[in-house]
Amino acid sequence: MSHPLIRVLVVDDSPFMRGVLPPKIESDPRFKVVGTAVDGRDAVEKTLALKPDVVTLDIDMPVMNGLDALREIVRLSPASVVMLSARTEQGAAITLEALALGAVDFIPKSRGVDRIHEKLLAAVEAKAQKTRASAPKPVVALRPAPPSRAAAGARINAKICVIGSSTGGPQALQTVLSQLPETLPVPVVVAQHMPPNFTKALAQRLNDLCKPAVVEAEDGMALTRGKIYISPGGMQTRVTPTEIRISADHGESLYKPSVDVLAESARGAFGKNVLGVMLTGMGGDGAAEMTKLHKLGGFNISQDQASCVVYGMPRTLFEMGGADEVLPLDQIGPRIRTALGC
């Protein structure tokens, strides 16, 4: 049985990009480009007329810029929006603003818009997830969460907290980390799937919004209690008992940074004394190593399906039996506080 084509609207004021993107998108037979738009106003009108599943939206455009068009599309249409972003520092900051306004994900324009099909699929899954979350809930027997080895609200003997996230992660991280106190008794290290520059902008944004200091991790940085470290994009991040180690990827993972790589190093450095947190994201990065951590005696919190933008990484962790507690997004920050006794 064939599945319906995923309908995509391409929006860019550049004739070059409007020429390049449609055939690249349609090189995967699951996708059909239903139209192109040349500016923000054109984008809004064609989104309403063509009813695409996904809109790829440039930011810097005439008549109406991408952020203003995004606001209108989010308000008027159920389509998911994936931003096309410059890799510059300024482009990264604007992209984070777009994610805060409701864009599902972004694709850096350079390097041939890598992994565009994966990003579009994640956007479609986000749309489906939103539909499921807003639908009336049938009265059915739900699969119970795996039993926790700690009572609800119990303190966890952790020396580090490791957080993994991907699609929908920047906003989820803002929700969770902004609920944490300045007096965190352990370091927190985050692996968010993002390219270079974007993780620096993310760290700066979170630092402005959160009580603990938030920095982009650098090789050789000391692991300090009360500080939050964002793994740099394009590299792999590991921890030792005392410091952060950053290195180029040598084929360890498709993702740079990888949650699996980070979690494996945390398990090696701290044994069972690790608090793991898995947030929204496509795929299954981090589930294997966090499950090993769970089996060793560590403790993992997984975001629930209803509050995820994409229920991929948390679902994989849950299905592998590695989640000790499953919580909605707005309860994860407070649970981290009680787990760490702060």
**Strand-pair partners of 247:** 236
Catalytic annotation present for 285: yes
Catalytic residue among 80, 85, 166, 258: 166
Alpha-carbon distance 336 to 332, whole Å? 6
* From 42, 58, 285, 324, the catalytic residue: 285
**Angstrom distance (rounded) from CA 222 to CA 244:** 6
Let me know how many helices (H) and strands (E) the chain has, helices first.
12, 14
Beta strand extents in 59-209 (DSSP E only): 80-85, 105-108, 160-165, 188-192
Q: Tell me the Ramachandran region of residue 286: left when phi exceeds 0, alpha when psi lies from -120 to 50, beta otherwise.
A: left
What does the block give as tokens for 264? 């494996």
Q: How many CB atoms lie within 10 A of CB 251?
A: 5
Q: Which of 13, 58, 193, 294 is catalytic?
A: 193
Q: Tell which residue, 15, 28, 31, 24, has the closest CA to residue 112.
A: 24
User: Alpha-carbon distance 20 to 270, whole Å?
Assistant: 48
- Indicate the DSSP class of residue 225: T
Q: Which two tokens stand for residue 92?
A: 């990264």
Whether the Cβ atoms of residue 187 and residue 160 lie closer than 8 Å to each other: yes
Peptide bond into 232 cis (omega under 30): no
189 touches 237 (CB < 8 A): yes
Q: Is 193 a catalytic residue?
A: yes
Environment class of 207 (CB within 10 Å of its CB; exposed 0-12, middle 13-18, buried 19+): middle
Give the residue from 287, 285, 280 showing the smallest Cα distance to 253: 285
Catalytic positions, written as ranges: 166, 193, 285
